[in-house]
Amino acid sequence: MTDEIGTLGPAGTYSHRAALSLGDDLRFYDGVPEIADAVERGDVNSGVVPVENSIEGSVNATLDVLVEYDLYIVGEVVVDVEHALLAHDDGFNVVASHPQALAQCRGYLRDSYPDAELRSVSSTAAGVEEAREDPAVAAIAHPSLADDTVRVIDDSVQDADGNSTRFVVLAREPADGGDKTSIVVYPGGDRPGLLYDILGVFKERGVNLTRIESRPSKRELGDYVFHIDFEGNRTSGADSHDEGGTDEILDALDEHVDWVEFLGSYDRVG
């Protein structure tokens, strides 16, 4: 069985930097669904994908993969993200990067390069490859990608200090446990007090939520799934069905919603 870790390529992406805290046997893919496919097929043992950023919020492609694939979160990695603007020189009129990176630098780009065309590409490092080939293109990426061809035109160009991204590690089987649990709930309709009932399950047990995010269910407008992260795991309490254990929380949520999907209990790695 392979020990390889799949992540977003080419070499030098922030996802690559996150994956290096797990190992250095890496395989690169062009996008989050491609990484999930590779994990599901068994081409790689695990996959590292970005899930949320402190400036720009959720990475929707990852939230969707968490619902659509039969995979588990087995770890998380938080990486500081400090972007540089890289180009041959200042004679560029296009800025290419991953859409999350362009969004994290939106204010800077509007103020400093209002006429530049913004081009979304599959990753920050893919943007640097374009910038290397074409002097009309600049990239937003980690400054370590500068070389003899593209230099750092400007550094720390993100719109807020303390920019960081949380990555999750995906695998075919759940981890043994960990301090945080992620689930997805699908209410299957709306009614007064629905969210109150869902949140009440956590409040009644004194369980701290660390995140709640809605995504369209893709069934119809106004129909949502909720991604919920909370402190605790399957073995909180003396056994998993003790008050506050994850299984007991999932059972209690089941009373209020159409379905609940357990995504994993895991620790921070790296």
- Least gap, CB of 246 to ligand PPY (angstroms): 29
**Between 100 and 182, whose beta carbon lies closer to ligand PPY?**
100
Residue type, 196: Y
Identify which of 225, 227, 237, 228 has the alpha carbon closest to the alpha carbon of residue 177.
237
**Between 98 and 180, whose beta carbon lies closer to ligand PPY?**
98
What SS3 class is residue 86? strand
For residue 27, give both structure tokens.
Answer: 């395989």
Q: Which residues pair with 152 in a beta bridge?
A: 86
- Least gap, CB of 248 to ligand PPY (angstroms): 35
**Between 109 and 207, whose beta carbon lies closer to ligand PPY?**
109
CA 9, CA 21: separation in Å to the nearest integer?
16
What are the strands of the beta sheet with 137-141, ordered from one edge? Answer: 117-120, 94-97, 137-141, 84-87, 151-155
Binding stretches for ligand PPY (CB under 6 A): 8, 13-15, 50, 53, 81, 98, 100-101, 123-125, 165
CA 89, CA 254: separation in Å to the nearest integer?
58
Angle at 30 between CA 217 and CA 138, to 5 degrees: 110
- Least gap, CB of 267 to ligand PPY (angstroms): 21
**Between 131 and 252, whose beta carbon lies closer to ligand PPY?**
131
- Least gap, CB of 180 to ligand PPY (angstroms): 20
Q: Which positions ≥6 away from 185 have C-beta within 8 Å?
A: 198, 225, 226, 228, 253, 257, 259, 260, 261
Q: How far is CA 60 from CA 156, 216, 250, in A?
A: 25, 10, 24
Matching residue, tokens 């995010």: 213
- Least gap, CB of 114 to ligand PPY (angstroms): 22
DSSP character for 144? G
**Between 81 and 153, whose beta carbon lies closer to ligand PPY?**
81
**Between 165 and 181, whose beta carbon lies closer to ligand PPY?**
165
- Least gap, CB of 98 to ligand PPY (angstroms): 3
